[in-house]
Amino acid sequence: MALPLFGKTILEQTEATYRRVFAEVVVVTKDRVSESAALEGMGGTLREAARLLPGYWQGVVIALGDMPFVGISSLQALLQAIEKNPEEVWCLSYRGQRGHPVYLPGKYFSCLKRLTGDTGLRDLLPELNPKYIDTEDYGVLFDIDKPDDYLSFQRLVVVKGAGDIATGIIWRLHQAGFKVVATELSKPTAIRRMVAFAQAIYTGEHTVEGVTARKANLEEVPNLLANGIIPVIPDEKSIVVKELKPWAVIDARLAKKNLGTKKEEAEIVIGVGPGFTAPVEVHAVIETKRGHYLGRAIYQGSALPDTGIPGEIGGHTVKRVVYSPGRGKICWYFDFGQEVKAGEVIGTVGEKQIVAEVSGVIRGLIHPEVRVEEGMKIGDIDPRGIKEYAFTISEKALAVAGGVLEVLLKLGNPGLK
């Protein structure tokens, strides 16, 4: 349990989670019990650990140190049940399957003295008639017993940015089995919000093609990842990488310049688009310009420079992109997937009208909470006129994601370098 996990050890992660909910926590390690009890297994360890309980405790929540993924909300539900009826035995469960932790009232402390072997509370609980608090939290079942349990969490990936291109990367890595955390601004400026996990910052939760992201803080990361959810963390002060100490960092903010990403941040650091040079600032760069080189991994050099001209879609370049006619607050008259005609007013910025320059389907609209500047990109119209494209990840995003996946597999496998 001394193995590293998200900037702490597994045991430290578990302890930190419980300390956020419970007033007192006693950590029992093998140096606090006899050698024979430790060798005996869980039963022997619990039997001896019982003598370490403070005399004034009227109940105890028994948790396992190799289960760092239990959600804080699950523990809060357990605490509420205990406070309501402290004389009952309480267990957390996941969809009807008993998990951990388990609460025992003081009247059952003597039962711990009967435990032997490596079965823990398993044989004891049936006679105590426990009450279950059922959850949708897989963390109450998931413990790190085998190398495979640990490996996927050891190779944590942090993606800076959660716009549509970054979301294509996150989505593809998630499908390939990687554990991914995204960071964003407190008010993201993503345009294609229906296919951007950045939308979760505004709505709390957002799903793109079957993968769900949730606005989160650092403490919620282990539980969300264990439940297959992408944490999206507002990170204006750039602390997430420092705290989580990921295996790989991908800067997919598409700022056209390096905002401070360095190779020293992780074992593998990737820059997406112009502004990065490999292997100087990052280990690899991914080409984002539409055309023959889109999605290529560059291990020596940089992506093609930004021309300021959007890629061609449906025969249009600049006209398909909506730019702000002024400065201030936006009010949109159309929604994602709706058809517009060239010349139609699709919204306003202050008192100035936003006029569509091409006919097509609304594919991108910046969030109304973002105060925009004149000339800022605020929308996107797809002249191909296919509604589904507004709600599915683009071929460009998936091509870029393929390049990222190549780099992670190549540089993460010493035999392929």
Tens digits of per-residue pLDDT, 101-120?
999 999 999 888 888 888 77
pTM, rounded to two decimals: 0.92
CATH 3.30.365.10 holds for 318-383: no
pLDDT at 49: 87
| Helix axes of 72-84 and 10-19: crossing angle, nearest 10 degrees | 40
Q: pLDDT class for 1, splitting at 50, 70, 90?
A: low
- Residue 86: asked if its preceding bond is cis (omega within 30°), the reply is no
CATH 2.40.50.100 residue ranges for the chain: 318-383
**CA-based torsion, 294, 297, 300, 303: positive or negative:** positive
The top-level CATH class assigned to 155-308+395-416 is alpha beta
Given a cut of 90, is residue 140 above it in pLDDT? Answer: yes
Name every residue whose Cβ is closer than 8 Å to that of residue 122 and which is 6 or more positions away in sequence.
Answer: none
Cα 54 from Cα 158, distance rounded (Å): 41
Query: Exposed, middle or buried: residue 398 (CB in 10 Å: 0-12, 13-18, 19+)?
Result: middle
Cα 199 from Cα 186, distance rounded (Å): 11
Domain spanning 4-140, CATH architecture: Alpha-Beta Complex (3.90)
Range of lowest pLDDT (51-55, 213-217, 412-416): 412-416
Higher-scoring residue by pLDDT: 123, 364: 364
- The residue type found at 178 is F
Mean pLDDT of the chain: 95
Neighbours of 116 (CB within 10 A): 15
CATH 3.90.550.10 residue ranges for the chain: 4-140
pLDDT at 115: 86
Higher-scoring residue by pLDDT: 38, 269: 269
Range of lowest pLDDT (52-56, 60-64, 193-197, 208-212): 52-56
Name every residue whose Cβ is closer than 8 Å to that of residue 127 and which is 6 or more positions away in sequence.
Answer: none
Mean pLDDT of 369-380: 97
